[in-house]
Structure 1
Amino acid sequence: MTLVMSVEEREAFLAGAHVGVLSVADEGGRAPLALPVWYLYEPGGDIAFITARDSRKMELIRKAGRVSLVAQDEEPPYYRYASVEGPVVEVQDPARPEDGRTLAERYLSAEDAARYLADTRGARDTMVTVRVRPERWYTRDYTKR
């Protein structure tokens, strides 16, 4: 029995509402920068996330041109994860307000999403949307045992 997810399983899993950990190569012998992100993904499509235009993360993304993202479900007694790597295929500058709203509503209740969007209104014009094309997948699903 294989613990590797099928194409359909991995795409459905990644499309779920997980906080992703984004990794991008760093410079000067440093370990990769790895940070939690909210992301959007629909099976067969690109991964999208929003970040600050002038952030260290975005600086490294521009230089590396590719990232990896891992999403996991650590629910005991078994866990699942999907790790995906690929090139950055688009940086939309500035990020569209509707993308920010979609992300907030994906991860927060309607009330909390509205509060979050109000609290971050002043930063909207400093944000960009990054789109990544999945190329390589690494998955495990220990619920298959």
Structure 2
Amino acid sequence: MRPMTREEREAFLAEPYVGILSVAAEPGRAPLTTPIWYAYRPGGSVTVITSPGARKTRLIGEAGRFALCAQVADVEDYRYVTVEGPVTGIGPASERERFDMAARYMGEAAAGYVNATREEAADYVAIRMRPERWNTFDFRRVPG
């Protein structure tokens, strides 16, 4: 095993990687797994913003929990963090939250993106998850 320390995993998850969200699906189906933007600050909640009518929103509401994976897949720098936990809230995403999320991933283009999607995203929800279980791997660490 090449695990990360608590500080390393939280700092890694706080970086703007595209996350892979997984949630239990309907009977007879594999878990829903989808790429998604997310926000995280060390010690805080994981937040995702999505449409209230999305399948993932319904499934997260039903399951009451989800998992998220973030990774660097470079051969020279392979690392990942997965985190799973209970949903602590699902509620309207403010325009400020949408802007902050867009700025995390798009930088200066965020304002234009938020303006262009204002009508479409007006009813989007922010889903918050409290990290409960972590798995990490840092391939850069040589086993000792």
Name the TM tier (shorter chain): over 0.9
Q: Give 1:62's aligned residue.
A: 61
Q: Give 2:15's aligned residue.
A: 16
4+ residue stretches of structure 1 with deviation over 4 A? none
- What secondary structure does 1:121 align onto? coil
Deviates more, 1:72-81 or 1:15-24: 72-81
Matches within 5 A, 1:104-119: 104-110=102-108, 112-119=109-116
**Counterparts of 1:107 and 1:136, CA distance in 2:** 25
Structure 1 residues not aligned, in runs of 5+ = none
Q: How much has 1:78 moved relative to structure 2?
A: 3.1
- What secondary structure does 2:140 align onto? helix
Q: How much has 1:70 moved relative to structure 2?
A: 0.1
Amino acid at match of 2:21: L
> Structure 2 length normalisation: TM-score?
0.95
> Structure 1 length normalisation: TM-score?
0.94
Q: How many residues align?
A: 142
Structure 1 residue 133 corresponds to structure 2 residue 130: yes
Structure 2 residues not aligned, in runs of 5+ = none
Q: How much has 1:116 moved relative to structure 2?
A: 1.2
- What secondary structure does 2:119 align onto? helix
Q: How much has 1:44 moved relative to structure 2?
A: 0.6
**Counterparts of 1:126 and 1:30, CA distance in 2:** 28
**Counterparts of 1:136 and 1:109, CA distance in 2:** 30
Q: How much has 1:118 moved relative to structure 2?
A: 1.8
Deviates more, 1:115-124 or 1:13-22: 115-124
Identity %: 47
Q: How much has 1:28 moved relative to structure 2?
A: 1.7
**Counterparts of 2:78 and 2:117, CA distance in 1:** 33
**Counterparts of 1:62 and 1:26, CA distance in 2:** 11
**Counterparts of 1:97 and 1:106, CA distance in 2:** 14
Larger helix proportion, structure 1 or 2?
A: 1
